[in-house]
Amino acid sequence: MKNYYSILELKLFAHAADVKRAYRRLALLYHPDKNPTPEAAAVFVEINEAYQVLSDPQRKFDYDQLLQGAPPPFTVQTHQRDPRFRRGPARESASVRRQVLQAMRDYLLYAVACSRLALLFSVVLIADYSLPANQTREEILSISRKRESRYAQSSQLALDGGEVITLNPLTAQEFKLGSIITIHTTALFSVPLLLENEKTRFKTRVPVSIYGNFKFLPLIMLATSLLGTFWWKGVEFRFNVGIVNLLLILLGFVFLRIHSF
């Protein structure tokens, strides 16, 4: 059985701090980077093996027990590995990474097309909101309340044209059954912007629409579509922005259908 203490030029059962100091001292003498001779390489293998056992508290204890004649509780491992080595976190293999990037390059034209479409869509939405609104007169046929959650309710106004507008209950109190209201809608997509009670002249904005609670969407789409269309650096960035713009386009169509006359 090898005497690891002797290999490290230590007394038997030396402390861990002594083991570390001895290893550093001998590594400076026999490490292949410091001493390229074949003899030094063989000695360093022995030094490395000894340090592997004596630097580990549990393995050192078991080895010391073995030196004192106690039954070996385990088989001493003698594989060689530089103690400075530390297993790092798992990384994505380079080949998989290259495959993903190649797929992005192959479909980059489609991603850029989505960004350009989102740019056009956002410009149209902004123009729709900015153009002079249309006005229509409708009669309120019914008013009903709907519970959105345990603590939130909404009121729905059914109009004689078949449309239903959702308002909060407090605002809906300003509109009575049979009242005539003027609805201001956008020029292109007929999204309701403003309700006006012709009798009381009370006006209120329609909150649940793409130009109400979701008015941030056209602005975000404009910013991301400009990046995806005109930012030419980085395949991965432009591809991901294209996917984001595609999702924003879909959300835009959904929000347009929440209220459109």
On whether the CB atoms of residues 135 and 196 are closer than 8 A, the answer is no
* Residue recorded with tokens 């070996």: 72
pLDDT tens per residue, range 52-110: 888 888 888 888 888 776 555 544 444 455 555 555 554 546 778 888 888 888 899 99
What is the three-class DSSP state of 56?
coil
On whether the CB atoms of residues 119 and 222 are closer than 8 A, the answer is yes
Provide the edge-to-edge strand list for the sheet that holds 192-197: 164-167, 153-159, 134-147, 180-185, 192-197, 203-205
- Residue type present at position 108: L
Long-range pairs, 54-61, Cβ under 8 A, ≥24: 54/4, 54/5, 54/8, 54/14, 54/16, 54/19, 55/16, 55/19, 55/20, 55/23, 55/83, 57/16, 60/16, 60/19
Per-residue CA distances from 79 to 58, 75, 191 (Å): 17, 12, 74
> With b meaning 16 or more CB within 10 Å and e meaning fewer, what string describes 88-115?
eeeeeeeeeeeeeeeebeeeeeebbebb
What is the Cα–Cα distance from 230 to 192, expressed in whole angstroms?
33
pLDDT tens per residue, range 150-168: 667 888 888 888 888 888 8
What is the Cα–Cα distance from 88 to 157, expressed in whole angstroms?
62
What is the Cα–Cα distance from 229 to 249, expressed in whole angstroms?
15
Predicted TM-score (pTM) of this structure: 0.55
What structural domains and CATH numbers belong to the chain? 4-67 (1.10.287.110), 133-186+195-202 (2.40.50)
Tens-digit pLDDT profile for the chain (261 aa)? 788 888 888 888 788 888 888 888 888 888 888 888 888 888 888 888 888 888 888 888 888 888 776 555 544 444 455 555 555 554 546 778 888 888 888 899 999 999 999 999 999 999 999 999 999 899 989 988 887 666 678 888 888 888 888 888 888 888 888 889 998 999 998 888 889 988 889 988 888 788 888 888 999 999 999 999 998 778 889 999 999 999 999 999 988 887 644
Q: What DSSP line would sit under 60-98, residue for residue?
A: HHHHHHHHTTPPPSSPPP-----TT---------HHHHH
- Residue type present at position 230: F
Q: What is the pLDDT of residue 85?
A: 52
Q: What is the pLDDT of residue 62?
A: 84
